[in-house]
Structure 1
Amino acid sequence: MFHGILRAAALSAAFLATSAHGGTVVLNEVMASNSATITDAAGTYADWIELYNDSTDTVQLSGYGLTDTPSNPFQWVFPAVSLAPGEFLLVWASDKDSTNPSGALHTNFKLSSDGETIVLTRPDGTLQDSLPRAAMGKDVSWGRTPDGGSQLVYFSVATPGRSNVGGGQAVLEPPAFSHSAGFYPAPFDLSISSGDAQAIIRYTVDGSEPTETSPVYSGALRIEDRTGPASGILLVRTTNPYNVWHEPAGNVFRGTPVRARAFKPGFLPSKTVTGTYFVTPKGRARYPFPVLSLVTDSVNLFDDTIGIYVPGSKYAQTGVKEDANFYQSGGDWERPVHVELMEEDGTLAFSQGAGMRIHGNYTRDYFQKPFRLYAKSSYGRDWFDTRLFPESDITRFKRILVRTGASDIYTALIRDGVIQSLVSHLSFDTQKYRPVVVFFNGDYWGIHFFRDRYDEYYLQTHHGADPSAVDLIEIDYSLPGGPFDADPGDATAFTGMLSYTKNHSAADPQVYEHFKTLVDVENFAEYCAANIFAANTDWPHKNVRVWRARVPYTPGAGQLDGRWRWLAYDFDRGFGLRESSQADQNTLIWATIGNPNQESTWLLRWLLLNPDFRTMFINTLADQLNSTFTEPRMIGMIDSLAAQIAPGMPEHIARWGEPKYLYYWTAYVQTLRNFATARRPHMIQHILGYFRTYTADTAAVTINTAGPAQNCGTVRINRITIEDGFPGVSRGVYPWRGAYFRDIPVRLVATPKPGYLFVGWETSTGTISTSDTLLLTLACDTTVVARFASTNDVQAPRVPLEFRLDQNAPNPFNPGTNIRFTLTAASPVQLAVYDVNGRLVRTLADQPFPAGSHSVVWDGYDAMDRQVASGVYLVRLTAREGVLTKRMTLLR
């Protein structure tokens, strides 16, 4: 492990060798797929670039540029470090961006094992050196021989920070398959070819990497349906003895994983190519959802010593549950796999190397285990580039969570997916959901679910956060090291916020106002209300996730304003798990005074002492009853998600024996429906009982609109916008009817459509207000009408009411993005982009603008017309009305 700048003197004649550069600093060696060669100070196997001083003079590198994008030569700039004659300098291409001259150097980019041109540029902009593009296998480097020389070769034994020795002639090109991986309706012959007639192709069909002892390809491989009795890994027990595991019943559907590699004396072997082939009369139509194939040497999953999917030898010796292999975590228990995602239409979404780790807590001991996939340059590609969830616009994933039914694995399987899908429109983050069938080395492994993985990269792609400047905390009061496990970041600010609440009263308005600069209270209220309705009794003492951008409170910065926000996680014990319905579970009591761990309920109890929060929380519960959790919406969601996996359930049950029978599964799904039907009246009684000091009953509010035509405008009540398309609001929405709580004021806002004006609010007593915002306290059932009128000139421009800088779109973006802002009056405007260190990148506009909305495009280039690197940037709007800032994320 190297902890600083790597320097070593070359003690051979290579020190005096004359290179093609005439004696100077050169790019001497590079590795783009560091799997086991060398780690940085953090223990990470990062890409690296080695420089060598082939001159007789010490060279000061301050101001030199290093890049893997030739059009952006100063993508990363050296600090004040020098390189003495005959010395080497190792720079980590890790994307960590560290320029401390007394420590290890890390660039702000990573390398691709498919090959990239590396360029070293002098401070005056002239070329110092470059290494041409070259694809690299795992732990194979590319560089000069001798040190500083002009001959470029591959090194099967890399020498970071030392003199280059050995080297192969070249790396062979990988073989090619005659057929694409996927599903076929009939058997066929698979041919494997190489562009080098002298190369020997070796292959495997058991998931292992081909080696020099693997079978030699001598003719086409017959690919056919391998369905048959369970054998091999299908008969490996994947649980401890005390947990449920069944042998597969009957025949199991199986595909053929083919891996091939080219060998030739004097050459480094090619990369391994992998393709999984399935033969079934229905072809791809066999499964109505995506198929994920994982191919790896079976020892990586099922070996007693290193296999991550089995209890293992240590558990066999100690009998301690936590000693089981599948309970281990971290990089030491990550295993290499090749993953292929086959979409419903037969297209191959991606096929690449990745790392695999077992995921979860107690669910690791179940027969079918959740796992995570890691995209890393050491496996080939740094990201999974695909639209994993069709309803989302996110197309890049650093990590993918492949989840099972978890606590719901013996019952309905879809419980967490149903609940998180129901609340996905609310202000807290949720994990998107998509069923997928998984195969290990061609063997059917059952129904799983793609889910979002909460980590710094999720926050980067979904919120534009700087992944190196976020705090993400798991809260679990059963953790042996304390309840707060931060990764990334730390829990200092969160515990500081809690300490503030312990020493101040929420009933004090000034305290509450300050607290709102620390926590997004609307987010917290909606999050708590959703868990309470769902009867999630596996919360709040655990299964809590919170995050924030690690910056001081920044009003107007949206999700990156530095406040704490909550993320939905693990609803598997909600909606009546293993109960007849659990609809009468008083989770409002559980979340405040009934939970055995009182510390976990402190924050909600503390906030409810404040009258403003209490009113908002009661209304939030009512809003969700009136929209998110209406019976038709819940039943529709349950039916939809159950129908998605129903065609695959007979095969899943035959494979795992759980649920025991198909009609059992149908009954467990019906338990969800029973909960959805029965929950509402219990929830209302729980709310009235808990808040009996403030409200005695519910009252119905009926909201209608009136005007010269239909759809003159819309009404928003609290957080519900009453219009087609809002979750839980039916079509033909007006008149709309909801139940709220007496003596608790609700907020109504009227918004006219273009061509209309809002006139006033009317009840049975006449017009009660002409303001577009109305606070209405219900004493009895009430009908209120929002009246609109036509404007004289529907084309007349309207003066904006708000000085605003919108979030750029798209975000994250590549290559360009649209920045929109609004002025309420004419003003000189400066619109400029800065990096996260406050350095000006480019001024986009510096001129007067009239009142109204305006749009400016940033193409991702700086003031010198150089393409900037991936990262987080700030766009700042300066006008007479003030200064507004937003964060933007550029992903190259």
Structure 2
Amino acid sequence: MKKQLCMCAAILLSAEIMLQTAVSKTVSAADTIFALHTHLLGKSSISEAEAAAADADGNGILNAIDLTLLKRSRLQHTSSLCINEVCTSNHTAYITKNNAKPDFIELFYSGSTPLDLSGYGLSDRETDPWRFTFPAGTIITENTHLLVLCDDTAASDTELHAPFKLSASGETVYLSAPKTSEDTSFLLDSVTVPALETDIVFGRIADGAASWDRMNPSPGTENQLAPPLTIPEIPVFSRNAGFYDDAFSLVLTAPEGCTIRYTTDCSDPCTSETAVKYTEPITIYNNTAEPNRESAVQKISDVARVSLRDPVEKGMIIRAVTVSPDGICSRVITNGYYIGKTAPYYHDLRVLSVTTDYPNLFDAESGIYLYDNCLNKGREWERPAHIQVYEDGAASYAEDVGVRIAGGFSRHYPQKSMTFYARNVYGASKMKYDFFDGAARDCYGKKIKEFDTVTIRNGGESYDNARFRDDLNVWLASGMALSVQAKNDYVVFLNGEFWGYYSMQEKLDDAYFSSHYHLDKDNITYIKNCECEGDTKTYMYFLNMISWAAEADFTDPKNYQNFCAQVDVQSFIDFIIAESCICNSDSLININNQQLWRVNVPDDSSPYADGKWRFSLFDTEYSSGYGTMQYNYNYLANMNQQSNPFAFGGVFYRLLANPDFAALFRASYVDALEQHFSAERAVAKIDDYLDRLSDVYTATGARFGYTFDRDRQGNLVKQFWERRGDYALRQADAIIAKYQQ
């Protein structure tokens, strides 16, 4: 801070000398004043109050001396401005007028006159100090607080909203003065916030004081020290969660002097009205014959109606907390017990038990599973949940997470895809478990055993038919120059009720690319379904590049070299090959379910940090015998060429005019048909899916109102692969010949 103050003093001195020089020259006074305003005050505006105070001669015009003195005044004022309180896990600390519960940063200003914050910056990144820029006209008055809400909500007339969120596991927050003409930052204050419990803030022990501590939240008011919290230990269960043959009595034990509260309806025992005090062992039994609750809800789909006559298979969910003598609850422990389940798939496959409060799923206004709400996306539609994994009947992993409904059109189906998010606000910041039996590996072949997110998928367009289509396609393409998801088979129970078969998979996001290719997550931009996630400049570079490529003459070696410098050509070729071999109409025909990615700033940290665009393969089930996508379909001749930056067919056709590209494409196609998409390989894998999963497919169909026909669906996809190879290679040769003329 001292160094920056000295630098600013030097700037002021040089500015005064500059003024004296400028006055002696025949230049526009207005231009001189404008240049000095930019040099001294950056891009910030001047409020009426500041202007009046700075106008020394009272003539209504700010001259050079006025601006210089205003800069000095701002420096003095900003030393009285500081970060005062930070909340990274808000549940009740501050609730907005829309009933949101965002994280927040509080500023405190101890100056003697109002301060204009126009152009000042708040950020959670030192390298990007103006992630949030205070809008023009933002004034903070003497000895007052100002609250900035940290979420993705647009600012309103009464609330300031920063476009970033804070991590409950701890991070650093930065406050900066407005940008200068050189876009250099002037750091006013920063604080490194430790990991915090929900509704506990990190704040100065008194407004503006030098010392910090954990505190009770006091947004907009004077800071108060939080009393020390003693969280009791969780209760001990006499039996682990799992699958059991027979009923038994479950004993719960708490530390001396404490009591236990528990629920059997999946609600939070600390706050639920249905929670009861534990006084005697709980009988755990096969509760399948009891009435359906979750499975009885009808308003979950607008394309299919599920009417169940019989009870679905069920398990008992016990949620419990220890309560200390002064009423403080422990962390909730959740265990699922499944008694007398005889189907082999409960032991042959992994089982995932998902538990959350009933209203989180089925409340008319906020329930994410109802079809009135299931199309909503974003953090606002994420709910707390508990997941528990069972291997061969025994519990092997558990974590508190967030859950959202996932997918596109498949959200309309009764059985919906769901994504789980690891966050400190729920539990751990990573799900540290090998969900995929070693199938998730990085670019060096090392197993990935921790995840930010995982998704359970309902089969997408193959929801009610050959549900293995996408899993098969991705498995066949593994090893190509494409980003693909690891997958695994799971049986799911939702709040203790049978919810059928799901394919669990990785989520293709910045965390995926970071873990698979050893890249900085903040240095990644990916484009998925025509939408950008990451750096806008990088996205604009892509649009400019692909617009050029759509018109380029690639018989000119320089143009081809330019394309190769910006796109990983093998990845592009493998993308075309994979989509055409499987005949995925969603991708290169309908321009949907496409993804490409790159780092924003290239470096030498990884072979994949070279700044080239690379492609992913996902959601491919609209293929391989589905609808019009039959084995003889000429995919390569019918790719979309419309005026759309993601209609890659047009660029591909132009590239085929280059003999080097055409030769590489044909050699890669032959290799792919032999090594990846051979009939023998595909048919053997289809038989494996049918042998292992037909029973659970059938049970899932019965649960959700459709019939799985093993022979019909299996033979349909088998026939496609038994005949696809010959047609695919002939079609590839024909398209090469057409554009090599």
What TM-score do the two structures reach when normalised by structure 2? Answer: 0.71
2:259 alignment partner AA: I
- Cα distance per residue 1:183-207 (max 9 Å; x no partner): 222211122222142x332221111
Aligned mates of 1:279, 1:461 — CA distance in 2: 38
TM-fit CA distance, 1:92: 11
Aligned mates of 2:604, 2:649 — CA distance in 1: 28
- Answer whether contact 2:203 2:215 (CA < 8 A) is retained: yes
Aligned mates of 1:299, 1:108 — CA distance in 2: 25
Pairing partner for 2:619 from 541, 555, 570: 570
Structure 1 residues 427 and 596, CA gap change in structure 2 (3 angstroms): closer
SS in 2 for 1:666: helix
Tell me the equivalent position of 1:804: none
- Answer whether contact 1:169 1:266 (CA < 8 A) is retained: no
Pairing partner for 1:616 from 657, 661, 664: 664
* 1:223 and 2:284 correspond: yes
Tell me the equivalent position of 2:262: 203
1:418 alignment partner AA: L
Pairing partner for 1:388 from 427, 432, 435: 435
Question: What is the RMSD computed on CA atoms of the aligned residues?
Answer: 4.4
Structural mapping, 1:678-827, within 5 Å: 678-692=723-737
- Answer whether contact 2:518 2:606 (CA < 8 A) is retained: no
Tell me the equivalent position of 1:433: 487
How many residues are treated as equivalent by the alignment? Answer: 602
Structure 1 residues 614 and 180, CA gap change in structure 2 (3 angstroms): same
* 1:260 and 2:320 correspond: yes
Tell me the equivalent position of 1:551: 601
Tell me the equivalent position of 2:585: 537
2:371 alignment partner AA: P
SS in 1 for 2:354: strand
Aligned mates of 1:39, 1:601 — CA distance in 2: 50
Aligned mates of 2:688, 2:102 — CA distance in 1: 44
SS in 2 for 1:644: helix
TM-fit CA distance, 1:53: 12
TM-fit CA distance, 1:51: 11
* 1:520 and 2:574 correspond: no
TM-fit CA distance, 1:529: 0.6
* 1:651 and 2:710 correspond: no
SS in 1 for 2:224: coil
1:436 alignment partner AA: Y
TM-fit CA distance, 1:625: 1.6
Structure 1 residues 161 and 427, CA gap change in structure 2 (3 angstroms): farther
SS in 2 for 1:516: helix
Tell me the equivalent position of 2:298: 237
Structure 1 residue runs without a partner (length 5+)? 1-25, 55-74, 80-84, 95-102, 117-128, 313-324, 476-483, 697-892
Aligned mates of 1:543, 1:369 — CA distance in 2: 18
- Answer whether contact 1:31 1:48 (CA < 8 A) is retained: yes
TM-fit CA distance, 1:304: 1.6
TM-fit CA distance, 1:235: 1.3
TM-fit CA distance, 1:489: 2.7
1:666 alignment partner AA: D
Aligned mates of 1:153, 1:426 — CA distance in 2: 51
- Answer whether contact 1:230 1:248 (CA < 8 A) is retained: no
Tell me the equivalent position of 2:224: 164
Aligned mates of 1:365, 1:654 — CA distance in 2: 18
Tell me the equivalent position of 1:488: 534
Structure 1 residues 49 and 200, CA gap change in structure 2 (3 angstroms): farther
Aligned mates of 1:150, 1:337 — CA distance in 2: 37
SS in 1 for 2:489: strand
Aligned mates of 1:268, 1:153 — CA distance in 2: 18
TM-fit CA distance, 1:93: 12
Structure 1 residues 190 and 370, CA gap change in structure 2 (3 angstroms): same
SS in 1 for 2:649: helix
1:545 alignment partner AA: Q
SS in 1 for 2:349: coil
Tell me the equivalent position of 1:795: none
TM-fit CA distance, 1:143: 7.8
Structure 1 residues 694 and 468, CA gap change in structure 2 (3 angstroms): closer
TM-fit CA distance, 1:307: 0.9
Structure 1 residues 231 and 528, CA gap change in structure 2 (3 angstroms): same
Aligned mates of 2:546, 2:192 — CA distance in 1: 53
TM-fit CA distance, 1:514: 1.1
Aligned mates of 1:648, 1:105 — CA distance in 2: 47
Structure 1 residues 284 and 461, CA gap change in structure 2 (3 angstroms): farther
- Answer whether contact 2:550 2:650 (CA < 8 A) is retained: no
Aligned mates of 2:351, 2:643 — CA distance in 1: 41
Aligned mates of 1:87, 1:287 — CA distance in 2: 62
- Cα distance per residue 1:273-324 (max 9 Å; x no partner): 2111111255997331111111111111112211111123xxxxxxxxxxxx
2:654 alignment partner AA: W
Pairing partner for 1:635 from 683, 689, 697: 683
- Cα distance per residue 1:607-649 (max 9 Å; x no partner): 2222211121122221112221111111122122333323423
Q: Could you tell me the percent identity over the aligned residues?
A: 26
Tell me the equivalent position of 2:444: none
- Cα distance per residue 1:861-885 (max 9 Å; x no partner): xxxxxxxxxxxxxxxxxxxxxxxxx
- Answer whether contact 1:302 1:308 (CA < 8 A) is retained: yes
SS in 2 for 1:327: coil
Aligned mates of 2:206, 2:644 — CA distance in 1: 69
SS in 1 for 2:527: strand
Tell me the equivalent position of 1:379: 426
- Cα distance per residue 1:39-93 (max 9 Å; x no partner): 99xx997878999999xxxxxxxxxxxxxxxxxxxx99999xxxxx999999999
TM-fit CA distance, 1:333: 1.0
TM-fit CA distance, 1:544: 0.6
SS in 2 for 1:691: helix
TM-fit CA distance, 1:464: 1.4
Aligned mates of 1:411, 1:78 — CA distance in 2: 49
SS in 1 for 2:388: strand
Aligned mates of 1:417, 1:292 — CA distance in 2: 19
- Cα distance per residue 1:446-490 (max 9 Å; x no partner): 101111101111111111121111111013xxxxxxxx3101333
Structural mapping, 1:308-457, within 5 Å: 308-312=368-372, 325-344=373-392, 346-349=394-397, 351-390=398-437, 391-392=439-440, 393-457=447-511
- Answer whether contact 2:360 2:366 (CA < 8 A) is retained: yes
Structure 1 residues 571 and 164, CA gap change in structure 2 (3 angstroms): same
SS in 2 for 1:410: coil
Structure 1 residues 89 and 593, CA gap change in structure 2 (3 angstroms): closer
* 1:672 and 2:726 correspond: no
Aligned mates of 1:472, 1:53 — CA distance in 2: 40
- Answer whether contact 2:319 2:333 (CA < 8 A) is retained: yes
Aligned mates of 2:480, 2:453 — CA distance in 1: 24
- Answer whether contact 1:427 1:526 (CA < 8 A) is retained: yes
- Answer whether contact 1:274 1:338 (CA < 8 A) is retained: yes
Aligned mates of 2:509, 2:164 — CA distance in 1: 22
Aligned mates of 2:593, 2:311 — CA distance in 1: 38
Structure 1 residues 592 and 578, CA gap change in structure 2 (3 angstroms): closer
Aligned mates of 2:606, 2:245 — CA distance in 1: 54
- Cα distance per residue 1:772-825 (max 9 Å; x no partner): xxxxxxxxxxxxxxxxxxxxxxxxxxxxxxxxxxxxxxxxxxxxxxxxxxxxxx
TM-fit CA distance, 1:536: 0.9
SS in 2 for 1:379: coil
Aligned mates of 1:303, 1:293 — CA distance in 2: 21
Aligned mates of 1:458, 1:569 — CA distance in 2: 13
- Cα distance per residue 1:519-556 (max 9 Å; x no partner): 0111100111111010111122111101000125x689
Aligned mates of 2:250, 2:205 — CA distance in 1: 40
1:586 alignment partner AA: N
Aligned mates of 1:152, 1:617 — CA distance in 2: 62
Aligned mates of 1:504, 1:386 — CA distance in 2: 48
For structure 1, which segment, 607-616 or 277-286, has the greater mean C-alpha deviation from structure 2 after superposition? 277-286
- Answer whether contact 1:171 1:267 (CA < 8 A) is retained: no
**Structure (1/2) with the larger strand percentage:** 1
Structure 1 residues 382 and 35, CA gap change in structure 2 (3 angstroms): farther
Structure 2 residue runs without a partner (length 5+)? 1-81, 111-124, 130-141, 152-159, 172-190, 441-446
2:614 alignment partner AA: R
